[in-house]
């Protein structure tokens, strides 16, 4: 027996089996937290796949066409998010590099304090992401 989405999202449990469809911890954390965790999971999978840590998913082994469709859509969300994050990171890096390369003589003064802060934050975020990927690679080996 498979529970409906309505049964999964409520506390009532499955009508046929009489048991709760979800573990208590999942019900307690709430739908928003579950969605956030799912988004982070699929985005992380996309980054790991691009880094060569994971192979591309082989959806042909999923027996249900409907499940294959939804799994494909779920993975597409992660790919799209990873692409957007990479673009934003590249944009921040180029802004930081331009700010560093501008000499005070060539511009109308030193880079603004806001630009220096943005550059430092972008470099810190990138270093943190690289460190997390490095640690993940080491754990998976």
**Could you read off the pLDDT of 6-59 as tens digits, one per residue?**
544 454 544 444 455 555 555 556 777 778 888 999 999 999 999 999 999 999
pLDDT number for residue 81:
92
pLDDT above 60 (res 140): yes
User: Is the four-CA dihedral 124, 97, 138, 72 of positive or negative sign?
Assistant: positive
Alpha-carbon gap, residue 59 to 71, rounded angstroms? 8
Angle between helices 65-101 and 31-50 (to 10 degrees): 70
| Cα gap 13→26, rounded to integer Å | 13
Instruction: Please tell me the pTM assigned to this model.
Output: 0.52
Query: 46-98, pLDDT tens digit by residue?
Result: 999 999 999 999 999 988 889 899 999 999 999 999 999 998 888 888 887 88
């Amino acid at each position: 027996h498979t529970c409906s989405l309505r049964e999964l999202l409520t506390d009532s449990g499955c009508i046929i089996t009489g048991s709760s469809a979800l573990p208590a911890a999942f019900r307690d954390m709430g739908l928003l937290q579950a969605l956030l965790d799912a988004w982070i999971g699929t985005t992380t999978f996309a980054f790991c796949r691009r880094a060569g840590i994971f192979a591309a998913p082989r959806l042909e082994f999923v027996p249900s066409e409907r499940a294959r469709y939804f799994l494909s859509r779920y993975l597409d969300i992660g790919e799209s998010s990873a692409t957007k994050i990479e673009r934003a990171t590249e944009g921040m890096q180029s802004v930081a590099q331009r700010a560093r390369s501008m000499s005070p003589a060539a511009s109308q003064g030193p880079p603004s304090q806001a630009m220096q802060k943005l550059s430092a934050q972008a470099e810190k975020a990138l270093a943190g992401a690289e460190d997390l990927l490095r640690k993940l690679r080491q754990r998976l080996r």
